[in-house]
Structure 1
Amino acid sequence: MAKPKLRNLPDLSDLTDAGAEIAVKVTPKAASDRITRDGGVVRIHVTTAPEDDKANEAVRRILAAAMGVATSSLSLKRGHTARDKVFVYDP
């Protein structure tokens, strides 16, 4: 089964500075995948359950799509098991 396409993502291309650290707040097991941005806080809601690193991969995929970059250019620096996470952009 194919992954559903993400729609209505905000433009986060301003976060694509080399070495930039992107702080996000994650809500797993949400009703739908989406991103909201309130000031400097990026909130990502994913439908995936937080088990076996699946939610982290879903967050990385959605964040990369909103930034317009490859998923391989984002790495999780902090928050592997927490809701507050920090990703690093390395082109």
Structure 2
Amino acid sequence: SGATKAALRSFARTFAVELAPRGIRVNAVSPGPIDTPTWDKSFPDKATVAHITGQMREANPMQRVGTREEVANAVLFLAFDATYT
């Protein structure tokens, strides 16, 4: 939910400030709607999946849903390549 994501982002910001003097970076990944097989299992009716996906797509500034690979790439970047993010 939105409240849960906001709480996790708040924890990440607090931990980032607290741990920075020790050289520890803290980041959080908070993706929007991601296309996963869970949708098909949660909503066996394909029309329902298409309707919900369409609503999510319209509500997203990029007008699309993300992929699992995009989230994985963001996590890998933050874990290994990001030095000032």
Give the TM-score normalised by structure 2: 0.23
Larger relative contact order (C-alpha < 8 A, sep ≥ 6)? 1
**Larger fraction in helix:** 2
Structure with more strand by fraction = 1
Larger radius of gyration: 2
TM-score by length of structure 1 reads 0.22
